[in-house]
Structure 1
Amino acid sequence: MSATETPFQPLAAAVLTASDTRTAENDTSGDLLVESLQGAGHRLVDRALVADDIYRLRAQVSQWIADPEVQVVLMTGGTGFSHRDSTPEAILPLLDKEIDGFGELFRHVSWQEIGTSTVQSRALAGLSNGTLIVCLPGSTGACRTGWELISSQLDSRYRPCNFVGTLMRAQEQRRALP
């Protein structure tokens, strides 16, 4: 292998659906994220469906970001403007660094698909305790768009840069803690 070739490194991910109405039987957005992760060669370590409640969402994500086995959390749902949409309010206080470009790019690409309705999307991403958290809208189409945007950043072979090195180093540091 030459110095420029980088092997694929599978990441360990969790998928969270924020919803008051979805069930395990009809969570097509969560299903799409699981299938996309696994299809790309990553490992699903946990999956949950939690009511759209700030504190329940924050508790579930906090559990995962404290777990040295979880490197990525993909969330779907709760990013709109209804009175129950609370994903950004739940997740933003947990972030050490927000990845501003993700939300901006998501809305730009979504504009091509849904027009000005994209202004209602509060999709976001960031790093918390070395764990990548990506918050997507609840529609299956929006999750497909989000996956298309983030999947290359979860691939160690993608150049000029990706998140894998950062996530691997953070996982090693968390595992070394007593």
Structure 2
Amino acid sequence: MNQQTTNPPLAELVIGLVSVSDRASGGVYEDKGIPALQDWIASAITTPYRIEPRLIADERTQIEKTLVELVDVSGCHLVLTTGGTGPARRDVTPEATLAVGTKEMPGFGEQMRQISLRFVPTAILSRQVAVIRESATHAALIMNLPGQPKAIKETLEGLKDADGNVIAGGIFAAVPYCIDLIGGPYMETNPAVTVAWRPKSAQRPASTQDNA
């Protein structure tokens, strides 16, 4: 009897996008957070992925419920939120994020504020956080991002001068390796947008080769 062996299918990368806004979720104006995130991800990630979008109000209970559902039910490996991270009384996204996390990842928020401070002094008022949410069989990285599309792009991919030299590193460079470490799929990126940094021992050959 002949036995045919096949490689196991690669795990699908699942990314949750959460826009937190009372007015956008209520139909007062069009949400810009999720489209901005979708556009950036399409330009940056070359690994096949699936997006799980959610547009919700600034309600802590709803934010927590949405984050738990995205990780525990939808199986997201990465969840990006936008909105609700300022000092206003209705801004509760960081509190909800910390409540569902099992490990805090403070470096992401610290770097986001360092990037934004190059543009506006009020960036110090931003309270973005990042956490790992873990269960017995799954884990995900959850990150709060700024609310404006321009700021989202700057914090994710960093800043370069006119000659292309890096002025401030974007936070996304560390995301693929973080996903590796918590057991998620191997994520590849477009180096023209963001270079995924991994130690040499964790790097794999590129999935596609340039034959030109």
Q: TM-score range by the shorter chain?
A: 0.7 to 0.9
2:178 counterpart (149, 163, 171): 163
Q: For 1:122-159, what per-residue CA distance to the aligned partner results, in whole angstroms no more than 9, with x for missing partners?
A: 0111111120001012111221123222322234xxxx
Could you list the structure 1 runs, at least 4 aligned residues long, displaced by more than 6 angstroms after superposition: none
SS at match of 1:154: helix
Corresponding residue of 2:16: 14
Corresponding residue of 1:150: 171
SS at match of 1:85: coil
How far the C-alpha of 1:170 sits from its partner, in A, is 5.4
Whichever structure has more helix as a proportion of its residues is 1
How far the C-alpha of 1:10 sits from its partner, in A, is 7.0
Gap regions ≥5 residues in structure 1: 1-8, 156-161, 172-178
CA 1:10–1:164: 2 relative to 1, 3 Å: farther
The residue type equivalent to 2:133 in the other structure is S
The residue type equivalent to 2:181 in the other structure is T
The residue type equivalent to 1:154 in the other structure is V
Residues 25-174 of structure 1 mapped to structure 2, 5 A cutoff: 26-39=30-43, 40-42=45-47, 43-67=49-73, 69-114=75-120, 116-129=121-134, 130-148=139-157, 149-155=170-176, 162-167=177-182, 169=183
- TM-score w.r.t. length of structure 2: 0.67
Q: Does structure 1 conserve the Cα–Cα contact (< 8 Å) formed by 2:97 and 2:129?
A: no
Q: For 1:5-61, what per-residue CA distance to the aligned partner results, in whole angstroms no more than 9, with x for missing partners?
A: xxxx97320100000112587222221111112222252331010001000000000
Distance 2:142 2:178 in 1: 11
The residue type equivalent to 1:127 in the other structure is I
If asked which structure has higher relative contact order (CA below 8 Å, sep 6+), I would say 1
Distance 1:38 1:49 in 2: 19
Q: Does structure 2 conserve the Cα–Cα contact (< 8 Å) formed by 1:10 and 1:41?
A: no
Structure 1 vs Structure 2 CA RMSD: 2.1
- TM-score w.r.t. length of structure 1: 0.78
